[in-house]
């Protein structure tokens, strides 16, 4: 008998063709081992970035929240490399998805949001973006529980490709 896995899901229907995948997120002090999540009062704008290996917050946000720096390390980005501070936080995504402890780097400059959610988070689950009739939808589930294979679905005629 296969054990049941508790899965948390997130679905966003943008109602238009989105240029970026964005959601709200909350952060708080890290809460490993079942400690209670105590978020800061504000929600922040988070952009999901498959090109980022690590989740990042702005230096301005780290300062505003008084986060405790745990170390410094070099971070390479599209604009070059920089020495960045890192912090341990808890990250709460919409619909009750909680990452109780994650190391995030701060960044210098304007990244167009407060939080960039990188592949360290995206890789914990399954991530899908659809653009049916010019309307973007985004879905995420954690943990990953099954392979999503569009080619296999087409071959099985479950969702045939129609050309008009």
pLDDT of residue 164: 44
Question: Residue 101: how many CB atoms within 10 A of its CB?
Answer: 15
Helix (H) / strand (E) element for 22: namely strand 22-29
What was the pLDDT predicted at 153? 65
pLDDT at res. 74: 83
Percentage, residues of the chain above pLDDT 70: 88
Q: In terms of C-beta distances under 8 Å and separation of at least 24 residues, what long-range contacts does 151-159 make, across chains too?
A: none
In degrees to the nearest 10, what's the CA dihedral of 4, 124, 103, 72? 150
CA 119 to chain centre: 8
At residue 3, φ and ψ (nearest 5 deg) are: -65, 145
Is the Cβ–Cβ distance between 126 and 144 less than 8 Å? Answer: yes
Under the banding of pLDDT at 50, 70 and 90, the label for residue 21 is very high
Domains of the chain: 21-125 (2.40.70.10)
User: Which tens digit of pLDDT belongs to each residue from 56-92?
Assistant: 999 999 999 999 999 998 887 766 788 889 999 999 9
Q: Which residue has the higher pLDDT, 4 or 104?
A: 104
pLDDT at 106 over 50: yes
Average pLDDT over residues 99-105: 94
DSSP 16: S
The first and second tokens of residue 148, run together, are 């999503």
State yes or no: pLDDT of 104 exceeds 70. yes
Q: Which residue has the higher pLDDT, 144 or 151?
A: 144
Which pairing describes strands 97-107 and 56-58: parallel, antiparallel, or unpaired?
parallel
Calculate what percentage of the chain has a pLDDT beyond 90. 62
Lowest mean pLDDT among 124-128, 147-151, 155-159: 155-159
């Amino acid at each position: 008998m296969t054990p049941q896995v508790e899965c948390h899901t997130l679905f966003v229907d943008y109602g238009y063709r989105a240029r970026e995948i964005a959601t709200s997120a909350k952060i708080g002090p890290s809460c490993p081992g079942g400690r209670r999540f105590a978020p800061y009062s504000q929600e922040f704008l988070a952009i999901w970035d498959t090109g980022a290996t690590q989740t990042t917050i702005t230096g301005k946000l780290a300062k505003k929240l008084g986060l405790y720096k745990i170390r410094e390390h070099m971070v390479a980005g599209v604009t070059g490399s920089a020495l960045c501070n890192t912090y341990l936080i808890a990250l709460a995504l919409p619909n009750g998805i909680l990452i109780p402890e994650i190391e995030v780097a701060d960044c210098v400059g304007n990244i167009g949001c407060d939080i960039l959610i990188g592949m360290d988070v995206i890789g914990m689950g399954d991530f899908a973006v659809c653009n049916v009739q010019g309307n973007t939808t985004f879905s995420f589930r954690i943990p990953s529980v099954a392979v999503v294979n569009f080619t296999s679905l087409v071959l099985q005629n479950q969702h045939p490709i129609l050309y008009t």
